[in-house]
Chain A
């Protein structure tokens, strides 16, 4: 009898709490296609890709997570699709975004891309701490390229103010640490491609197979130059 009372009481508590649902518009479920992209942006994405105090705006605080505010919708959609399909394989993608996007529907991806592309990018507070000489050196590479290594100016594709265009991402104001790590990933992919050419039987396993256009560019910049460009881009508003 005691056991029955126990089970009944616990069931009643569980059902009551279960019934106290705040509904789909405040859900954190990543597996429910009925949850909208807007709700996911608020309840889930904002944890890492949000500011504090005004945290749905896509301006992330920790450089582990890219700033999504004002990003090109076409680019965001393509990247989320790559996370979903596990074709984008850089470390942060595997650590977090593969899981986040595991069950996203095309509709949710589209809504999320639209949502973040319409947020206002804020100036990056870390820009104030950057060495002006390094920022200037990065600016030179951004605008003029590195002709010695046949690296074209970044501005040619990413826009005069690194605002991006469709599938080409906006880079202005992005965290320098994030940009540097991505350039290193493209650089590593370039080396993998080289090794693959020498030994075609070896599996390539590129981190960014859809970023082939960036491989030669990243490979043509020294680590210091990559750092300079990243600092310059971070300083753009």
Chain B
């Protein structure tokens, strides 16, 4: 039977959720994904309370040393462990609830009535040599892009988070130095503190109410996801000081284009000229506590017009200069797991001349994006999270057409609870509510001629994930 038809059959049924649970509890508890098979660890060793993607100190060190620790296949010496295959799968079934179902008003991209299998990810990677390792993810999304009318939706599939790292660690009696290089397909993919966008704590395939006018900075936004290739180098000294420099560029053809799936401006992905990325941080660990604070930034040189879907590869260049602060605090000592993250990113936009008068009023604009979250997990089984996400910035009527004043300002909160009956399964409920969009709190947003309020974009989601 074809996978798609199987998925179709399951659609709309709570049986998917029950099936995920019963399937998972029948698994051998030690048989889990790629890195766990390689190290023999349970999820909780590297993830806070066992819940991906938040990394513990051990998880950070595993990533910084190039995903190489453990015992795995060695492709160069042609040794394999057939009982530890370097592949894993993640399935996500979910049902969304929201009220705004008007396609013209930027409604959601999953039918609000569905309970079905919405995301399938495949993973591979880990140890390649003693210095070289990889994280490779491929994802199928049932719903990609907003529903245009009725229940029509677009599926997508392709390469997702992917990174190759080469790393070395020099340890002496009074010094510890990790240094390495990486190639990956998204800025912030290299993050180990979950305080920047790619690995923020809400990392779960989440289909909210589609077109909420909630602008983000270019660096933290999802607009450049997996459409660019970056190479970078980093050092981590004495588990205290971290420094990283990278440069990202669009790659539409050639050997590295497998990391972007050949994405181009015509497929709605920004085309980047070489754009520098950097990160510096201080890390401190004492007792069960750990703390990190640092700065991040990227200056992106982007062809084309985001308002027109970046389709103009040969067009003029817009510049997005992002600089920010980020921090993390963790308490990791069973049965209590706690973490908190904060980031603030300031963006200076230099809009290309082609944008002026079409998708931007001003030659320059600013945006200040703020993210904060707290997570508490008990016994690696029961968890609760609260996220805040929002932005403020300069008024620009063409850039923020939904706002009656041209304001980009918005605020949202997202409480969430979950239960992990076994380490491979997470069942949760999350709710996103917008307290401000387009600088307004009332019923004055102009969404394609329809007047809406921020609350019309509120979304909740019941989900179950299985990772195996």
Residues in chain A within 8 A of chain B (CB atoms) = 5-6, 9-10, 13-14, 17-18, 20-22, 24, 26-32, 42-44, 46-48, 52-57, 61-64, 91-92, 94-96, 98-100, 102-103, 125-126, 177
Contact A54 B72 (CB under 8 A): no
> Of all chain A residues, which has the CB nearest B379?
A91
**Contact partners of A54 in chain B: CB under 8 A:** 173-174
**Contact partners of B8 in chain A: CB under 8 A:** none
* Shortest CB distance B44–A (Å): 5
**Contact partners of A63 in chain B: CB under 8 A:** 287-288, 333
> How far, in angstroms, from A112 to B332 measured CA to CA in the complex?
26
Q: A31-B71, A53-B240 are in contact. Are A96 and B166 (CB under 8 A)?
A: no
Q: A21-B129, A21-B130, A48-B58 are in contact. Are A28 and B65 (CB under 8 A)?
A: yes
**Contact partners of B238 in chain A: CB under 8 A:** 52-53, 55
Flag B60-97 by CB within 8 Å of A: 1 or 0 each.
Answer: 01000100111110001000010000000000000000
| B57 touches A (CB below 8 Å) | yes
Q: Which of B34-42, B193-201, B295-303, B392-400 lies at the binding interface?
A: B34-42
Contact A64 B71 (CB under 8 A): no
Contact A62 B333 (CB under 8 A): yes
> Of all chain B residues, which has the CB nearest A61?
B285
Q: A17-B129, A62-B287, A103-B71 are in contact. Are A22 and B168 (CB under 8 A)?
A: yes
Q: A5-B255, A27-B130, A95-B45 are in contact. Are A53 and B166 (CB under 8 A)?
A: no
* Shortest CB distance A232–B (Å): 18
* Shortest CB distance A219–B (Å): 22
**Contact partners of B441 in chain A: CB under 8 A:** none
Q: Which of B69, B172, B254 contacts A30 (CB 8 A)?
A: B69
Contact B168 A47 (CB under 8 A): no
**Contact partners of B286 in chain A: CB under 8 A:** 61, 125
* Shortest CB distance B306–A (Å): 30
| B209 touches A (CB below 8 Å) | no
**Contact partners of A44 in chain B: CB under 8 A:** 69
> How far, in angstroms, from A30 to B41 measured CA to CA in the complex?
12
Apart from A96-B41, A102-B71: 15 A-B pairs, beta carbons within 8 A? A13-B255, A26-B130, A28-B130, A29-B71, A31-B72, A32-B71, A52-B176, A54-B174, A55-B171, A56-B172, A62-B333, A63-B287, A64-B332, A96-B45, A177-B288
Contact A102 B40 (CB under 8 A): yes
> How far, in angstroms, from A64 to B42 measured CA to CA in the complex?
14
Contact B171 A30 (CB under 8 A): no
Question: Can you identify 18 A-B contacts, CB atoms within 8 angstroms?
Answer: A6-B255, A10-B255, A18-B132, A22-B168, A26-B170, A30-B40, A30-B70, A31-B72, A43-B69, A53-B238, A54-B173, A63-B288, A64-B288, A99-B36, A99-B40, A99-B42, A125-B286, A177-B333
> How far, in angstroms, from A100 to B175 measured CA to CA in the complex?
24
Q: A28-B69, A43-B169 are in contact. Are A99 and B39 (CB under 8 A)?
A: yes
Q: Which of A27, A43, A99 contacts B171 (CB 8 A)?
A: A43
Query: For B36, B57, B72, B285, which residue has the most chain A Cβ atoms within 10 angstroms?
Result: B57
> How far, in angstroms, from A100 to B71 measured CA to CA in the complex?
9
* Shortest CB distance A61–B (Å): 5
**Contact partners of A96 in chain B: CB under 8 A:** 41-42, 45, 58
A-B complex: 9 closest residue pairs judged by Cβ atoms: A99-B40, A31-B71, A9-B255, A42-B171, A28-B69, A95-B42, A30-B71, A27-B130, A47-B61
Q: Which of B44, B61, B70, B172 contacts A95 (CB 8 A)?
A: B44
Interface residues of B in 141-177 (CB under 8 A from A): 164, 166, 168-176
> How far, in angstroms, from A109 to B374 measured CA to CA in the complex?
40
* Shortest CB distance B312–A (Å): 26
**Contact partners of A26 in chain B: CB under 8 A:** 130, 168-170
**Contact partners of B175 in chain A: CB under 8 A:** 53
| B128 touches A (CB below 8 Å) | yes
**Contact partners of B164 in chain A: CB under 8 A:** 17
**Contact partners of B129 in chain A: CB under 8 A:** 17-18, 21
Flag B227-258 by CB within 8 Å of A: 1 or 0 each.
Answer: 00000000000111000000000000011001
**Contact partners of A57 in chain B: CB under 8 A:** 173
> How far, in angstroms, from A165 to B58 measured CA to CA in the complex?
31
* Shortest CB distance B436–A (Å): 40
> How far, in angstroms, from A212 to B453 measured CA to CA in the complex?
66
* Shortest CB distance B467–A (Å): 17
